């Protein structure tokens, strides 16, 4: 499997997670290939709007150029979206971090498994509210039971 198809599969997986949790979501056409496509997904619901940069990693560290993160943050700000870096480590699942939580490795920003476990959040922690008044969690749990 090529890196491009691995990345596309990861984006589709994350897209489905959002739509299953009753978010509206779109994959950004040309992401990672064309200029001015500085994120992979846009997801939201009333009062919650996110730009998501997806990364998939079979090792324990993922490096992202500083330019890519800078353009991603600017893109997010222009559209009033909260920037989130989503990283999926093989056999560990998804972790979600703010770009501010990435480690500076000199030329790049880095997220490793240890950092992801320490500072990152899981999907439900990041995007679903855990209070009795919220129907988000209930709706997501019902969808997971059905699937």
Tokens encoding 39: 């994120």
Q: Which residue has the higher pLDDT, 39 or 143?
A: 39
Under a CB-based contact definition with an 8 Å cutoff, are residues 42 and 52 in contact? Answer: yes
Under a CB-based contact definition with an 8 Å cutoff, are residues 55 and 111 in contact? Answer: yes
Candidates 114, 122, 4, 130; CA nearest to 56 is 4
What mean pLDDT comes out for the span 97-107?
Answer: 96
What mean pLDDT comes out for the span 12-34?
Answer: 85
The active-site residue, picked from 2, 5, 8, 31, is: 31
Instruction: Please give the residue range of the domain that contains residue 116.
Output: 3-146
Domain count, the chain: 1
* Alpha carbon distance 126, 134 (integer Å): 14
Enumerate the β-bridge partners of residue 63.
Answer: 110
What mean pLDDT comes out for the span 45-56?
Answer: 95
What mean pLDDT comes out for the span 93-108?
Answer: 96
Q: How much is the pLDDT for 5?
A: 63
For the entire predicted model, the pTM comes to: 0.81
- The CATH number of residue 27's host domain is 3.40.1350.10
Proportion of the chain above pLDDT 70, given as a percent: 77
Whether 134 is catalytic: no
Question: Does position 120 have pLDDT exceeding 50, yes or no?
Answer: yes
């Amino acid at each position: 499997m090529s890196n491009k198809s691995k990345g596309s599969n990861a984006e589709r997986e994350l897209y489905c997670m959002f739509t299953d949790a009753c978010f509206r979501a779109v994959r950004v056409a040309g992401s990672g290939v064309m200029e001015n496509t500085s994120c992979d997904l846009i997801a939201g619901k009333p009062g919650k709007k996110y730009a998501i940069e997806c990364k998939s990693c079979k090792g324990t560290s993922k490096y992202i150029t500083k330019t890519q993160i800078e353009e991603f943050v600017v893109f997010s700000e222009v559209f009033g979206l909260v920037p989130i870096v989503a990283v999926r480590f093989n056999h560990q699942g998804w972790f979600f971090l703010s770009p501010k939580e990435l480690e500076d490795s000199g030329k790049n920003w880095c997220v490793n498994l240890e950092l992801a476990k320490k500072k990152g959040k899981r999907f439900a922690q990041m995007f679903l509210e855990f209070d009795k008044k919220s129907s988000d969690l209930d709706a997501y749990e019902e969808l997971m039971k059905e699937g």
